Amino acid sequence: MKANKLKTLLIKIFRKKGLNQTDSLICANAIINAELVGAYGHGLSRLKMYCDRINKKLINPKPKIKIKDISQSISYVDANNSIGFVAADIAMKKSIKNAKKTGIGLVAVKNSGHYGLSGYYAEQAVKKNLITMIYTNAPPAVAPYGSIKSLFGTNPICFGAPSGSKIPFILDTSISIINRGKIRFAARNKKKIPEGVALDKFGKPTTDAKKALQGVQLPIAGFRGSGLAWMVDILSGVLTGGNHGGKVKDPFDDFSGPQNIGHLFITFKANLFVKNFNNRIRKNIKTIKNLPKIKGVREIMYPGQNKYKRFKINSKKDIKISNLIKKDLKILEL
C-alpha cells in the first residue's frame, strides 16, 4: 500500500476513535515512520492495541494535556492518559522550544502511554541542530540482575546529535538484547526468535516467541544492562511521577487501568561550549570510519546510518501489509 493511502486510512481510523485531525495525523506519521525504518514491532502491529485501549477508555482520545513551566528551561507535562504519540510530540516540541530559548530544555511527562520509537522524536531535535537524550520506561519484561522475576521494561535509551551530514547520529536501543515489539511481532506471525535473548517462565532458554512473552527477556551485558534499565526506570518513572518499579501496565494484556508511562526529554544546543561542533563531529566520525576494518566489513557505521538507508529505500516502495494486519485494518475502518 502506498504510504499516503495508508496515512489517510490511519487518520480515518483514529478520527473514528475520537482523536482530532491533528492528533490523528501525529499518530499516523509515527506509525508509518516505524514501518519505513523497518521497526515493524512498533508500527502497524500495535494499531489494534491502541484502538482496543481507546475502546476500553484506558487511552483518552480527547485529553486535556497540561504543561507547567517550572522555569524557562524546565517544563512538566501531564498527558491526561493521552495516546503516547501525542504526549511525546508535545513534549519534544516543548523541549526544543526551551532549548532554543535558553540553551537547554528539560521536559518530564507523566500519565502517558507507549509512544513508538524514541529515535523518531530525537530526529526532530537533531534537525534543529540540537543534541537530545530521551528516556521512557515500559511494562515488566526484564528481570533485575539476580532475580528470576521480570520487573524492568525494555526501557530504551536514546541519544541524538547532528553528524555534520544529512544523516543524523541517532542511537535508539532497548536495554534488552532485542526489543519486546520484535518478540510480539514474531509471536503473532508464528516465527521463532534468536537464541540467547529470552527465557521461558521456567527459566529455560527459548526461541519460542510466545513462551518468551510469558517468561523473561535477557538484558544486554548482564548486570550492566540491568543497571541501565534501572537508571531509565528512575529517570522516566520515579522522577516524572509516572509508574515505575514494575507498575507500568502491559498495553496488550492488562486492561485494569491506564499505563501512566513517564518520559524524559533532555535537549540542548550543540554549540553551547564550542562554536565549531559540526566540524568537530565530522572529524570525529571520519576518524572512526577510517580505522582498519575486520574482514568482511566494508564500512564502519555510526548509529542511525542503517535506519536512514532503510527509510530511503522503503520510502520508494509500497508498504507491505501482512494478512493479519489487513484483517485488523478492515475491522478498524468499518
Q: In this structure, is the dihedral angle defined by the CA atoms of residues 232, 163, 114 and 219, taken in order, positive or negative?
A: negative
Pairing of strands 198-199, 74-78: unpaired
Q: Is residue 190 part of a domain?
A: no
Q: How far apart are CA 205 and CA 199, in angstroms?
A: 4
* Residue 238 · residue 244 · CB < 8 Å: yes
Q: Which residues pair with 106 in a beta bridge?
A: 74, 266
* Residue 78 · residue 111 · CB < 8 Å: yes
Q: Which residues pair with 203 in a beta bridge?
A: none
Tell me: do 171 and 235 sit in the same domain.
yes
Tell me: do 98 and 2 sit in the same domain.
no
CATH of the domain at 35: 1.10.1530.10
Q: Is the pLDDT of residue 232 over 80?
A: yes
Question: Which amino acid is present at 94?
Answer: K
Domain interval for residue 321: 1-55+305-334
Tell me: do 30 and 102 sit in the same domain.
no
Cell triple for 111: 500519565
Cell 532554543 belongs to residue: 100
Q: Tell me the pLDDT tens digit for each residue of 102-112.
A: 999 999 999 99
Q: What is the pLDDT of residue 253?
A: 92
Q: How far apart are CA 212 and CA 200, in angstroms?
A: 5
Q: Is residue 126 part of a domain?
A: yes
Q: Tell me the pLDDT tens digit for each residue of 205-222.
A: 999 999 999 999 999 998
DSSP 155-189: --EEEEE--SSSS-EEEEE-SBSS-HHHHHHHHHT
Q: Is residue 198 part of a domain?
A: no
Tell me: do 249 and 285 sit in the same domain.
yes
60 CB-contact burial (10 Å; exposed 0-12 / middle 13-18 / buried 19+): buried
Q: Is residue 127 part of a domain?
A: yes
Tell me: do 294 and 316 sit in the same domain.
no
Tell me: do 105 and 154 sit in the same domain.
yes
Q: Is residue 128 part of a domain?
A: yes
Cell triple for 147: 532475580
Tell me: do 312 and 245 sit in the same domain.
no
Tell me: do 285 and 167 sit in the same domain.
yes
Q: How far apart are CA 167 and CA 169, in angstroms?
A: 7
243 CB-contact burial (10 Å; exposed 0-12 / middle 13-18 / buried 19+): buried
Cell 538484558 belongs to residue: 219
Q: Kindly calculate the radius of gyration of the chain based on its CA atoms and give it in whole angstroms.
A: 20
Q: What is residue 149's three-state secondary structure?
A: coil
Q: What is residue 111's three-state secondary structure?
A: strand
Q: Tell me the pLDDT tens digit for each residue of 84-127.
A: 999 999 999 999 999 999 999 999 999 999 999 999 999 999 99
Tell me: do 127 and 70 sit in the same domain.
yes
CATH of the domain at 279: 3.30.1370.60
The pTM (predicted TM-score) of the whole model is: 0.93
Q: How many domains does the chain have?
A: 2
Q: Tell me the pLDDT tens digit for each residue of 305-334.
A: 999 999 999 999 999 999 999 999 999 987
Instruction: Assign 148 a pLDDT band (cuts: 50, 70, 90).
Output: confident
Q: What is residue 323's three-state secondary structure?
A: helix
Tell me: do 37 and 149 sit in the same domain.
no
Q: What is the pLDDT of residue 147?
A: 84
Q: Tell me the pLDDT tens digit for each residue of 262-298.
A: 999 999 999 999 999 999 999 999 999 999 999 999 9
Cell triple for 33: 515512520
Tell me: do 23 and 162 sit in the same domain.
no
Tell me: do 129 and 18 sit in the same domain.
no
